[in-house]
Structure 1
Amino acid sequence: MLHHLSFAVTDLARSAAFYDAVLAPLGYVRVFADDTCVGYGTPGSGDKFAIKLRTVVSPPAAGFHLAFAAPDRESVARFHAAALLHGGEDNGAAGLRPHYGNDYYAAFVIDPDGYRIEAVINR
């Protein structure tokens, strides 16, 4: 259904370093970058997620979050650890979430601009 999504960020270098680190364990890389924007996707593809430099950022309220697909449970744990090392805030360590499904394994963090993000595998 979704083609791509972007977040406004106040410090592109800080946010790019954060997303480089947290998305790498999930298999996503920078697919383009310029002075005001960095796009991420799978190697050799177009962007599916981008961060764009803006002077004012107002993340959506609690209830909104973006979940990134993970290839395995280990990558979910690496996503969480990388987020905490690069300015993210813990919002739920890697683990099973049986209230979402028997095999729902996820980690939740808040990025440096206040966006709630997740890495998940559901198998």
Structure 2
Amino acid sequence: MPLFDHLSVSVSEVDDVIARFDPILTALGLSRSEGGNGASWYAEGETEFVVLPARDTASGPHRHGRVGWQHLAFAVASRAEVDDMHERALRAGWTAVREPKEYPRFTPTYYASFVEDADGIRIEFMHNPG
């Protein structure tokens, strides 16, 4: 049984978010399902990631460091995959926050990149062997 069942994120424009998330999540092996007013990505028997339109569209984008969403980290199999996922994200419309690099303050083998979208949603691609 997974640690948590699903993660749901409110966004300003569902279609734009689908275009940004789909190349990343499908490359990570998830399948997309659309229904109602949102979309979800899942792997059979695993956690689901859901996007839905924000109920309060006047709330504006989230700002990193404020109460709320910090970031979602995707663990990948290699440094090369961190680099590849970072490039996929940029091609899909994400903005680079931090280019792929080592983070020895976390562990001696931690390698990661960070990207953010127009809603202030930040994701990380990371590889930390051992």
- Return the TM-score normalized by structure 1: 0.82
Find runs of 4+ consecutive structure 1 residues off by over 6 angstroms. Answer: none
CA change 1:97–1:109 in 2 (3 A) is: same
The gaps in structure 2 that reach 5 residues or longer are: none
Contact 1:93–1:108 (CA<8 Å) still a contact in 2?
Answer: yes
Query: Computing the radius of gyration over CA atoms, which structure comes out larger, 1 or 2?
Result: 2
**Identical pairs, percent:** 29
Confirm or deny that 1:53 pairs with 2:59. no
The one-letter code matched in structure 2 to 1:50 is V
1:1-123 aligned within 5 A: 1-30=3-32, 32-42=33-43, 44-45=44-45, 47-54=47-54, 56=57, 58-59=61-62, 61-62=64-65, 64-123=70-129
CA change 1:28–1:7 in 2 (3 A) is: same
Q: For the residues of structure 2 that align with 1:23 and 1:77, how far apart are their CA atoms?
A: 15
Number of equivalent positions: 121
Q: Which range moves more in the overlay, 45-54 or 12-21?
A: 45-54
Q: For the residues of structure 1 that align with 2:117 and 2:54, how far apart are their CA atoms?
A: 16
Q: For the residues of structure 2 that align with 1:41 and 1:71, how far apart are their CA atoms?
A: 19
Contact 1:83–1:111 (CA<8 Å) still a contact in 2?
Answer: no
The one-letter code matched in structure 1 to 2:65 is A
The secondary structure found in structure 1 opposite 2:86 is: helix
